[in-house]
Amino acid sequence: MAQKTFEKSMEQLERIVSELETGELPLETAIKKFEEGMKLSTFCSKKLDETEKKVTILLGNEDGTNSEKAFDPADSDIR
C-alpha cells in the first residue's frame, strides 16, 4: 500500500471539495465524501503541525556565525 503523503491527501481533498460543490451527488454519497474529506483534512492539519514544530530559524550572530532557534509562531510577523 502506498504511503499517504500531505501532497496526495491535499489533491484528494481538493477533488472531494470540487465534487461536493457541484451539488450533483446523491445525499448518501455526499455524506461519505464529506466524512472522507474530514479525515483528510485532519491528516493534513496534523502534518502541518508536525512540520511547523520542526522548522528552525537561522540567526546571524554579531560575530558572523549562525545559530539555530526553534520557530515560535507567536514571535512571527507572518499571519
User: Which residues face 69 on adjacent strands?
Assistant: 57
Q: What is the pLDDT of residues 19-71, one digit of tens each?
A: 999 999 999 999 999 999 999 999 999 999 888 777 766 666 677 777 777 66
Contact 29, 36 (CB under 8 A): no
Q: What is the pLDDT of residue 59?
A: 65
Q: Where does the chain have alpha helices with state H? A: 6-22, 27-54
What pLDDT does 30 receive?
Answer: 97
> What pLDDT score was predicted for residue 67?
73
pLDDT value of residue 71: 67
